[in-house]
């Protein structure tokens, strides 16, 4: 017979008593598996219709996947509206692709607004709410459009599925091989696009087996911890990767503004190849900036075989960009050069005019040890933490835990009333 300790029985008794006082408490799971879920967003342009749109929905329904549909207003009629309602009822998202699918970059604010409002009015009639995101026809963007359209702009990786010469196999191959956490995929459900229907029959189950979950754009932003910003067009929504990094050194702080051809970038934020080599794969480069396009790191070599190539940030949101060591090392390896072979490594705009405010080297690891029980993350463990935990458990409005993991006293990868018992025990020094 298995022995049960008196201490364990006592804890169980406390748990039962507290549970009786908190019959409707919530539980927060914080398992590693949920944290590591890879998200991907399939998006479909140029519908709706009564043929291909429904065929796409059939595949999504078969694999319990969600997607986002960008509608052309002129394609919405009484018959195609049924497909729109079906998509919405399945949990898919309905978005805006303009009324006429015209190049909008040269349009007046009035004409731009008319294009967007027409679609919204039609969509409201069908599902009772307006569209959430906008994809510019032909990805034609202007500052007037950013200023006039009060929706986040979406692009996405393009597998050329609007070209009949691209086979279903080529389409699926491209999507699968370019899939990564947070990627948005640009597809088309225009009438007759049967090859894309065939492609997603391969793409969805293949990526699901690789651990991907297919979500709407709204869910993608929410679960990645990002709020869509203006003056940006999104192809990927990555999680901020440097929450467990600490400051190592500052490369630049102040304010520097210029376009990609400004010579001043060569002296503004220069990276030391020797330092990065010494740090190995433990570092990241973080840039605080203002621009519709993200910064890049330019790798330059003038002697021997010249090199001028750029490293794209792993993460960017219009205010902050992060370059990971592994991405820089991968490019250096592909070029068969070392850090110290380069003549210069600088941070520059990828396009447009950028204002850089700060550039830093970060390194993995925290300099501060997490305080167990400090759920309000104020650097102390005291009665305030027990109050916050208790309010959260009984679902008091606006009660939030600033640090979930600090509250997992029992270390069972979840937050519940048992953890509250242990927090109170520690505070009152009850001995069992």
CA–CA separation, 287 and 356 (whole Å): 7
Does residue 101 have an active-site annotation? no
Q: Is the preceding omega at residue 328 within 30 degrees of 0, hence cis?
A: no
d(CA 248, CA 254): 18
- Cβ atoms of 325 and 280 within 8 Å: the answer is yes
Contacts 24+ apart (CB under 8 A), 259-267: 259/349, 259/351, 259/352, 259/353, 259/354, 260/348, 260/349, 260/350, 260/351, 260/352, 265/298, 265/346, 265/347, 265/348, 265/349, 266/344, 266/346
CB 381 within 8 A of CB 389: no
Quickly list DSSP for 124-187.
HHHHSS--S-B--GGG---HHHHHH--S-EE--EE--TT-TTS-HHHHHHHHHHH--TTEEEEE
Cα gap 393→34, rounded to integer Å: 21
Query: Of 188, 189, 293, 416, which one is the catalytic site residue?
Result: 188
Which two tokens mark 303?
């002697």
- DSSP-assigned states of every residue in 177-240: HH--TTEEEEEE--TT-HHHHHHHHHHHHHHHHTTEEE--HHHHHHHHT----TT-EESB-PPP
Rounded to an integer, what distance in angstroms lies between the CA atom of residue 197 and that of residue 190?
Answer: 11
Closest CA to 53 of 186, 191, 158, 175: 191
In the DSSP assignment, the letter for residue 45 is E
Q: How far is Cα 197 from Cα 406, in angstroms, rounded to an integer?
A: 46
Nearest to 284 by CA among 249, 254, 308, 253: 249
Element (H, E) at 278: helix 273-279
Whether 45 is catalytic is yes
The C-alpha atoms of residue 55 and residue 179 are separated, in whole angstroms, by: 23
Q: Which residues are catalytic?
A: 45, 188
């Amino acid at each position: 017979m298995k022995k049960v300790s008196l201490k364990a029985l006592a804890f169980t008794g406390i748990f039962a008593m507290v549970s009786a006082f908190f019959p409707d408490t919530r539980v927060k799971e914080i398992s590693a598996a949920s944290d590591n879920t890879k998200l991907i967003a399939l998006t479909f342009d140029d519908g709706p219709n009564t043929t291909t749109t429904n065929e796409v929905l059939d595949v999504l329904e078969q694999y319990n996947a969600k997607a986002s549909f960008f509608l052309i207003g002129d394609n919405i009629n009484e018959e195609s509206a049924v497909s729109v309602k079906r998509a919405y009822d399945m949990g898919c998202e309905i978005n805006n692709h303009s009324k006429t699918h015209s190049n909008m970059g040269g349009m007046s604010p009035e004409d731009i607004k008319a294009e967007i409002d027409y679609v919204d009015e039609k969509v409201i009639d069908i599902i009772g709410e307006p569209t959430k995101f906008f994809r510019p026809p032909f990805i034609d963007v202007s500052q007037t459009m950013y200023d006039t359209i009060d929706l986040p702009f979406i692009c996405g990786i393009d597998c050329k599925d609007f070209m009949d010469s691209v086979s279903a196999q080529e389409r699926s191959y491209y999507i699968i091989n370019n899939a990564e956490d947070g990627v948005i995929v640009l597809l088309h459900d225009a009438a007759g696009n049967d090859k894309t229907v065939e492609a997603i029959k391969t793409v969805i189950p293949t990526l699901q087996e690789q651990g991907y979950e297919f979500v709407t754009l709204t869910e993608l932003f929410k679960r990645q911890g990002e709020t869509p910003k203006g003056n940006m067009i999104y192809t990927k929504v990555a999680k901020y990767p440097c929450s467990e990094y600490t400051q190592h050194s500052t490369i630049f702080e102040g304010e520097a503004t210029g376009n990609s051809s400004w010579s001043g970038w060569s002296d503004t934020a220069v990276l030391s190849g020797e330092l990065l080599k010494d740090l190995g794969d433990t570092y990241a480069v973080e840039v605080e900036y203002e621009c519709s396009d993200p910064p890049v790191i330019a790798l330059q070599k003038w002697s021997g075989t010249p090199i001028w190539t750029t490293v794209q940030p792993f993460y960017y949101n219009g205010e902050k960009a992060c370059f990971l060591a592994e991405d820089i090392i991968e490019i250096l390896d592909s070029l068969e050069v070392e850090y110290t072979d380069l003549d210069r490594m600088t941070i520059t705009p990828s396009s447009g005019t950028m204002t850089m405010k700060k550039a830093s080297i970060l390194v993995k690891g925290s300099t501060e040890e997490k305080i167990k029980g400090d759920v309000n993350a104020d650097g102390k463990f005291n009665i305030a933490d027990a109050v916050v935990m208790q309010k959260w458990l009984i679902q008091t409005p606006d009660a939030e835990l600033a640090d979930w993991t600090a509250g997992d006293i029992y270390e069972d990868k979840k937050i519940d009333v048992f953890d509250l018992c242990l927090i109170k025990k520690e505070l009152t020094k009850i001995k069992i």
